[in-house]
Amino acid sequence: MMVSLLPGISGCVLENRTVSTVLDTLGVGGAYPLPESAGKELNRFDAVYARYASHRDDEQLRHFSDTFRRVRVNYVEPLEDAALIDAAITGVESLEGELASFEPRDVVEAGLDGMMASLDPHSSYMNPREFQESQVSTRGQFGGLGIEITQENDIIKVVSPIEDTPAFEVGIQAGDLITHVNGEDIRGKGISYAVNLLRGAPGTAVVVTIERAAVDAFDVSIVRAIIKVRSVKWRVEGDIGYIRVNRFTERVEPGIVDAMNDIRAQLGMNLSGIVLDLRNNPGGLLDQSLILSDAFLEDGKIVSIRGRDEDGSERSHSASPGDMAPGLPIVVLINGGSASASEIVAGALQDHGRATILGERSFGKGSVQTITPLPVEGALRLTTARYYAPSGRVIQARGIMPDIVLLHDEEEGEFTREVDLPHALDSAGEELSRDVPTIAASSCDGDAENEDPDLVCALMFLHTESSAEFLSSVGVSPES
């Protein structure tokens, strides 16, 4: 779900369907008919619904039934009907209050939330408000604090702050834990509850309590604002073009064109290489990752996508002719916060030998979420496939391993990765391990005033003739 505060990391495809096609899913004879056994499971939910709802609303019951049908047919892995309904019932039973006192919409939403929470960390039900906000955020402009959050062990955790936003400006960091909002303890209350408290009108302030490794808990006041995410930033570093992609919104395509045009206008024939910085980029729109990959490839497969079809069929996306930096070496920077769409780009450029990957192993989110508007209200964000790098290697739960690993100080802490999240999908493939050289990021000899050692390493690498020469220059044998 991509809103002003992001409870998860995304890599989504929005499914556009006509109203007539969507409405066809209503009723037993629609596009998702149920076997008798599944119908009996739905009857179990109906019985619980009848105990909690203040009155019967057939439209809301059809809403639940339609969503259940879609999940059981389209999820990336086969599911047990009974387990789905058990999770939905648990969601309803978590409602606090008198029986037969809840609005039907609230009962159904609790059921859908419970059902989706039993799947992987990236599948969810979006009510109408959440769906509307998700559409706004993928366009690169939305209201809020400018942080992306997830839930870990009942505690809200910051995945990353978005650059040039209120949260970023006050010093919120990846890995921070949010325990209180305006003095209220939010531990164990769920991510939706936290999001509702953190949201608010632009110009208003919210006080969050932060727990951070090696320091005492502290409060910080953040003034909400309209978040305008500049997806692509760039500058010139000597004779190198530096391009940072913060997230994959609809603005990536024009952004990369503007970046390359401006860098070439500044450097002309003196341009000797490109640094593509994808660190802490949590992903976003799948099509934008294909566009960015294609920008630096002449041909070849970018990514393949495989669902749960028994015939093993897959969809693949390939590059079209035209490299925006022909003949120029490229370094891609990644870390544990580089996820989903970022991993597609890094994997494609690495497998085709088009770029050298420097940094840390990436997050490991190798799944695709399809966002489907539902016929009654809201939308379903469902994991429908895994994606694979051009070589066929698995990204899910493993991530992209750099060609050269950059080590950092221990006090910086470890990233939480996909494999650490509750209910994370497994890799569904054989792991191919390989030894890669490892260096301390601080060992790169560059501008002493540059506080970004990874970038210093990337620039240094581009000014050498080969990986072997670079490793030798930092005192590491290429064979080690």
Q: Is 477 a catalytic residue?
A: no
State the Cα–Cα distance between residues 335 and 315, nearest whole angstrom: 28
Reported as type and span, the H/E element at residue 467 is helix 467-473
Active site residue 301: no
Enter the tokens of residue 69: 């049908």
For residue 228, the SS3 value is strand
- Asked if residues 116 and 64 have their Cβ atoms less than 8 Å apart, the reply is no
Answer yes or no: are the C-beta atoms of 104 and 119 closer than 8 Å.
no
Q: DSSP assignment, residue 396?
A: T
- Helix%, strand%, coil% for the chain, nearest 5: 30, 25, 45
Residues 111, 88 contacting (CB under 8 angstroms): yes
Distances (CA, A) of 298 to 187, 323, 415, 436: 50, 5, 34, 27
Within a 10 A sphere around the Cβ of 82, how many other Cβ atoms?
Answer: 13
357: left (phi over 0), alpha (psi -120 to 50) or beta: beta
Amino acid residing at 236: V
Q: Is 310 exposed, middle or buried (0-12, 13-18, 19+ CB in 10 A)?
A: exposed
Catalytic residue status for 221: no
* DSSP codes joined into one string, 377-389: SSEEEEEEEEEE-
SS3 233: strand
Active-site residue, from 160, 304, 340, 342: 340
Q: How many CB atoms lie within 10 A of CB 453?
A: 17
**Cα–Cα distance between 105 and 283 in angstroms, integer?**
32
Q: Which residue has the tokens 């990752």?
A: 289
C-alpha 405/C-alpha 357 separation (Å) is 9
Which of 113, 294, 351, 454 is catalytic? The answer is: 351
> Which residue(s) pair with 129 in the sheet?
none
Catalytic position from the list 289, 294, 365, 427: 365
User: What's the token pair of residue 5?
Assistant: 């505060």
Residues sharing a CB contact under 8 Å with residue 15, sequence separation 6 or more, in sequence order: 370, 371, 372, 373
Q: How far apart are CA 358 and CA 438, in angstroms?
A: 10
Listed residue (354, 360, 420, 365) closest to 387, CA to CA: 365
Alpha carbons 62 and 64: distance in angstroms, whole number = 5
> Which residues are designated catalytic?
340, 351, 365
